[in-house]
A and B are shown apart, each in its own frame.
Chain A
Amino acid sequence: MAASAAPARDPAWLGRSFWLLALLVLLWPLGVATEFRPWVLLEPGNLRVTGQFLGSFWPLAHGGEFLAMVARETWRTVAMATAGVSLALLIAIPLTLASTQALSVSALSGRMARGPFWLRQALRWLLIVLRSIPELVWALVFVRVVGLGPTAGVLAIALTYGGMLGKVYGEILESGETHATTTLLRNGSSRLQAFLYALLPASAAELTSYTVYRWECAIRSSVVLGFVGAGGLGQQLDNSMKMFNGGEVASMLLVFIALVALADRVSAWLRKVLG
């Protein structure tokens, strides 16, 4: 016989159901604020519009002239993303090296000195500012400055992605193993030497795969930038949408899917090689 009776109910039950209900109550005003009414999609009139749009996807556009244009614009999109990420690296790498705590000489013996601390803090705020302004806003600004075309897209990607890369690079470097780095610094190496001989080899794979992932993001965001006139496949997609040419839209979307899948394979391969 059991020493005591089995408990009648789970003591955590009341709390759980309370929080579940509370969550629903909290979600309600959010749904109202965003006019979340999914059933609108299923109204006969709207279903007809959706059906027409999707129906126009077939047959896919495949004329010779169109395909040549898609190839040209795809290449331009890839070039825009690559140039943008390269420029972003030029911004991110120096800022990361200057702001990462793992390369602090004064922090070797206890706390970081005040000057370097505030310098690092200031650089971090700069990175926050760079990445908190969406690339779309930068693109709108640059389209006005340098005119329609991919240059605006490249500059927009460079600024926003410079901020993102700088922040995440810093996190990757600080979260990795820093024993080798501090040892080199303690033995009198310079910060750059410690970076090259200890910090970089310790996190090279992670840094590379994150960079490739960001490159993929840049390809996707260059589409959005194209809609505001920054050139590339996105701008053509915008044109075709405005002309209600579903076949062209579908063909270009397929090209996008292929590009993103390609970036995914490249990233996986790089991780394996560097791992």
Chain B
Amino acid sequence: MKVELTALSARHPAARAQSRPAVDGIDLLIGAGESVAVIGPSGAGKTTLLHAMACALTPSSGSLRLDDVAPWSLPRAQLQRVRARLFLAPQVPPLPPRQRVVTAVLAGQLPAMGLWRSVRSLVYPVDIPAAHDALDRFDLADKLFERVDRLSGGERQRVGLARALVAMGGGGGPAGGRAAPPGASVLLIDEPLSALDPTRARQAIGALVDGARDHGATLVATLHQVDVALAHFPRIVGLRDGRLAFDLPAAAVTRERLAALYDRFEHGLRGEVPALAADTPAAPAPVLMHCR
């Protein structure tokens, strides 16, 4: 799926309407099947950019087009069908603690699965081979039937990535008869390596890039590890202060450009507060009354 951003600006939903957008006037065209890494210092707007591409965030101005369709002009039901073709993996793996790994991984297929099949999958997992295969690419095949809360932070993150691989597979579908519904064709992965050691990180990013290529899916990942980005992604987008700093093939990203991108941030974050954190002070949790 082709992703096209035209002068797109977006701000965090909780941010004030007058505040500066977290991403500001981004023009970007990502072709179907392309792999792109988004790099930039903390607070540059990488996550907001991903959310905007995932239709998780309404653009405050500018437009988003997916395969030449403007998703935000569609009715909600159709927008939800467009979202089924996009897979957003947040930085914190979204796994309920008491769920089993196999269920958590197969949840990636839900949008393509249909209600009946998803209920059946809770009783008996419908596609154990797919879950096993995806986990195996991240060296987690032995954790297939473990509970999520028994895993380490890094293992959880890799389970979240395995879900992304499964999501591209589509609903599996019944053997024979009608064709399986399509799976996700855009992967939007936020900081996939934040809890992984360097060896695991290289393995994980390799599995993601290979998986996306095998399925012909578009892959956009935000990364803090510049070397990993340069080694695995043909195209690098640099983001700074919500604006596009550069958009180049990996070979053309020079040391000087990187230095400019991370200037002030490499040398101890001089008074610079990430825009997102500044805009959204954590509200205290409301006191709960369970009227017992």
Point out residues on A near B: beta carbons under 8 Å.
Answer: 105-106, 108-110, 113, 164, 167-168, 171-172, 175, 177, 179-180, 182-184, 186-190, 192-194, 196-198, 201-202, 204-205, 210, 213, 274
Contact = CB atoms under 8 A, between A and B. Distances in A.
Given A105-B76, A109-B58, A188-B80, A197 B88 contact: no
Nearest to B99: A201
A106 B288 contact: no
A204 B167 CA distance: 26
B97 A202 contact: yes
A189 B111 contact: yes
26 contacts: A109-B55, A110-B58, A113-B76, A167-B291, A171-B289, A172-B290, A177-B96, A180-B94, A180-B96, A186-B54, A186-B55, A186-B56, A186-B83, A187-B84, A187-B111, A188-B80, A188-B83, A188-B85, A188-B86, A189-B84, A197-B110, A198-B94, A201-B96, A202-B98, A205-B98, A274-B98
Contacts of B289: 171
Contacts of A179: 90, 92, 94
Contacts of B103: 197
Contacts of B85: 188
A106 B107 CA distance: 21
A59 to B, nearest CB: 37
Contacts of B81: 188
B94 A183 contact: yes
A24 B113 CA distance: 64
Given A109-B56, A172-B290, A183 B90 contact: yes
Contacts of A175: 288
Contact of A201 (B54, B98, B118, B291): B98
Contacts of B97: 201-202
B248 interface: no
B115 interface: yes
Contacts of B260: none
B95 interface: yes
Nearest to B90: A183
B55 A196 contact: no
A80 to B, nearest CB: 21
Interface in B237-292: 288-292
B170 to A, nearest CB: 12
A197 B118 contact: yes
Interface residues of B, number: 41
B22 interface: no
Interface of B: 13, 54-58, 76, 80-88, 90, 92, 94-99, 103, 107-108, 110-111, 113, 115, 118-119, 122, 167, 184, 288-292
Contact of B119 (A196, A205, A210, A274): A196
A187 B86 contact: yes
B115 A198 contact: no
A172, A197, A202, most chain B CB atoms within 10 A: A197
Given A187-B86, A202-B97, A193 B110 contact: yes
Nearest to A189: B110
Contacts of B107: 184, 189, 197-198
A182 B103 CA distance: 17
Contacts of B94: 179-180, 182-184, 198
B96 A193 contact: no
A108 B80 CA distance: 11
Contacts of B58: 109-110
A172 B290 CA distance: 8
A108 to B, nearest CB: 6
Given A172-B290, A196-B118, A210-B290, A187 B99 contact: no
A205 B99 CA distance: 12
Contacts of A177: 96
A67 B13 CA distance: 65
A20 B55 CA distance: 56
A189 B87 CA distance: 11
A198 B86 CA distance: 19
| Most chain B CB inside 10 Å of its own CB: which residue of A186, A190, A198, A202 | A186
A119 to B, nearest CB: 13
A188 B84 contact: yes
Nearest to B13: A110
A175 to B, nearest CB: 5
A196 B288 contact: no
Given A108-B56, A175-B288, A193-B118, 17 more contacts: A105-B76, A110-B58, A164-B291, A179-B92, A180-B94, A186-B54, A187-B110, A187-B167, A188-B82, A188-B85, A188-B86, A189-B107, A189-B111, A192-B115, A193-B113, A202-B96, A204-B98
